[in-house]
Amino acid sequence: NKAETLTDIEKYDDAITAYWKSIQYEDDEDNKKAAWINIAVLCRQQDNFKRGLECVEKALDIDISDYDGWHFKASLLNDMNKHKQCLEACSEAQKIDPEESHSYLHEAESHLELGNLDKATKAVNTAIGINPNDPWGYWSNANILLVLDKKKDALKSIDKAIKIDPTDSFFYTKAMI
């Protein structure tokens, strides 16, 4: 579709306009919800977290039980440093799908930012237990271990992330803290 193609060629503003038009003319609520989420994703890519959050809220107005909406809301709230609200969104996402790991990673990040290291560790371990093939679990774990001044363990954890996805430069250079 036009919006996805525009996204692929990184014409984000034009893609957002195309999604807006699809919302105007679309009768199917699931398609509208997906369009709102896609706009939110594009807003996040442009660091427009507030607008992205507004779009996620529109998607959740259509379907309050949508895991992707709650998961992405948690992600945006983390980006906005609204960690207590992020934890609430994570809780909602986990009620809907307790076997999806990403909401636990957002939970871990918020707990880490709030200084709740035991809760952060528990959340990241839950995420890794659910999906041991997700490198982001090990990256998040490494960040917690760095805060705990366990640098050798942090290095082992980040090496696990790199082993899973050796082509992602992020794992070689970035730390959350």
- The per-residue DSSP string of 105-138 comes to HHHHHHHHHHT-HHHHHHHHHHHHHH-TT-HHHH
Structure tokens belonging to residue 108: 């871990």
Beta strands in 57-100 (DSSP E): none
Report angle CA 107, 112, 113 to the nearest 5 degrees: 100
pLDDT in tens, 10-19: 899 999 999 9
User: How many residues in total does the chain contain?
Assistant: 177
pTM: 0.88
pLDDT in tens, 118-163: 999 999 999 999 999 999 999 999 999 999 999 999 999 999 999 9
In this structure, the dihedral spanned by the alpha carbons of residues 107, 108, 109 and 111, taken in order and rounded to 10 degrees, is 80
What is the residue-wise DSSP string for 37-53? HHHHHHHHHTT-HHHHH
